[in-house]
Amino acid sequence: MRLSSQEEYGLRCLLRLARKEAREPVNIQEIADAEGMTPEYVAKLMRVLREGGLVQSTRGAGGGYRLVRPPADVTIWQALEVLGGDFFSDSFCDSHPGQRRDCIHTTDCSIRALWRGINTMLRSALSGITLADLMRGSETLFAWLARANLEDSAAGTAMEYQRFGDVLTRAGARE
């Protein structure tokens, strides 16, 4: 499983905008320079993000891009859906029938069940993480992930927190 470059760089562009929230719009050249990308690629990503309803553009000399919603209201899952779609879409099986017209595993497919389950877990986990959470920094995220892994191992169950930020708050209160 891999993230596409469009998903990775698109998230980086969104984070760049999130850091500038409530200030002047951020132009393509500024994003490109800050993120080490070409202006053409940033323009393509911003078009995808605009068409996906995550950013808005302002034309003119002082123009650029802004988030449509506050960073705390944009989940990573929403961003990845706009940038690349679901990890496993319902149409996946239609494009992998082997040499036949239709897949021979239409009624009982453990592989399809696996990918659907992984897709559901990813959606659940990434729907609880927002751009605002990513702005907290890598050390905070690493600490949370390490703590969550220990808690999962001790409890023997998957964590079920509604929001990543709630976990970070709880983790900070325990230290």
To which residue do tokens 């595993």 refer? 105
Q: Which two tokens stand for residue 128?
A: 């609880």
pLDDT of residue 128: 84
CATH architecture of 1-134: Orthogonal Bundle (1.10)
Q: How far is CA 123 from CA 31, 32, 78, 79, in A?
A: 28, 29, 9, 11
Per the CB < 8 A criterion, the answer to whether 93 and 114 are in contact is no
Q: Report pTM.
A: 0.74
pLDDT of residue 173: 47
pLDDT of residue 175: 41
pLDDT tens, residue by residue, 6-53: 999 999 999 999 998 667 899 999 999 999 999 999 999 999 999 999
Q: Which amino acid is at 117?
A: G
β-bridge partners, 56: 66
Count of other CB atoms within 10 angstroms of residue 36: 8
The residue ranges of the chain whose pLDDT is under 50 are: 156-164, 173-175
